Amino acid sequence: MTAALPKHIEAASPHVMNTYGRLPIALDHGQGCRVWDVNGKAYLDALGGIAVNTLGHNHPKLVPALQDQIAKLIHSSNYYHVPLQETLAARLVELSGLENVFFCSTGLEANEAALKLARKFGHDKGIERPEIVVYEKAFHGRSIATLSATGNPKVQAGFGPLVEGFIRVPLNNIDALKAATANNPNVVAVFFEAIQGEGGINSMKDDYLRDVRALCDERDWLLMIDEVQCGMGRTGKWFAHQWAGIKPDVMPLAKGLGSGVPIGAVVAGPKAAHIFGPGNHGTTFGGNPLAMRAGVETLRIMEEEGLLANAVKVGDHLRAALARELAGEKGLKEIRGRGLMLGIELTVPCGELLGR
């Protein structure tokens, strides 16, 4: 634990809503994969801003680019053309093989936009009450709609009534998906994380992803894959679903796309690319020049420094080291995940293992 904190952060601030169980640490600055608190104590940053700080802290190529952009233009409005939007969108289209992009500021916003796309897709087909298939243990955000799509009763408690129009199914069970949607003409989309983050590093199997893609094609549904946390090279591919060799119709992104600058995106394929028209959706801050510059530079630096291959290499090393160090531990159930998105499932409280 760090030394004494400044008095104004010793306890919950009377001026900030108490929505987080904060650690007794106040960070001051960072460099690479390390951060320092206000007392000068150094830490290895294993949190990475919750899958946000793709390039680490104070990257020597990113910081000057952001400083340059701040001096030029931070924010304008989507009433004007923002050239950097086209630059970043073109790169995301190239990497994904999809068609166009809507920019926003967070993963929640990206997922909310995906849900709206699915509903309008249904209404355009004459379906008055569209339904979307979602998954057990999923996490898509904390707005009322994304919370309703989330598969965790704990985070939903106290916020009812939730939004209707969702059908929940278990992971990796194509028969359960078919049974839950049988004879239901209102289904318009299937929505899931390629690897569940909040839900426990639960991966959709490659064969299952291919089966769902085929089912969506057969039934004219949108396949919507939430890559907010598992995307942006974390697994060793730009997007985790690419390990299965498929393409979604809708792909929300955020977190690591801006290396700490708030950014979100919805990348759409041909079936979904032209559902929205002017006035159907929008954002104040999304697509601002600073966020777009952060996204452009993040992708460029990731490619220059070979970070996707590094995620595979370091992920394999980490997984092997964990298996070696935890071999024989009675509380170990499984080490799972892909690349640098790994999890350890235990049958005992984690504190017991850490204590040993």
Q: Which residues are catalytic?
A: 139, 226, 255
Contact 263, 295 (CB under 8 A): yes
Helices and strands in the chain, H and E counts? 11, 14
CA distance 190 to 181: 10
Q: What is the Cα–Cα distance from 328 to 23, expressed in whole angstroms?
A: 31
Which residue reads 């129009």 in tokens?
165
User: Residue 161: is the preceding peptide bond cis (ω within 30°)?
Assistant: yes
8 Å CB contact between 93 and 99: yes
Angle, helices 307-326 vs 289-304, to 10°: value is: 70
Burial class (CB in 10 A: 0-12, 13-18, 19+), 139: buried
Q: Which residues contact 299 (CB under 8 A, 6 or more apart)?
A: 88, 91, 92, 95, 257
Q: Which of 61, 11, 85, 71 has its CA nearest to residue 297?
A: 61
Q: Which of 283, 247, 280, 249 is nearest to 264 (CA)?
A: 283
CA–CA distance, 71 with 50 (Å, rounded to integer): 28
CA 149 – CA 200 distance, rounded (Å):
17
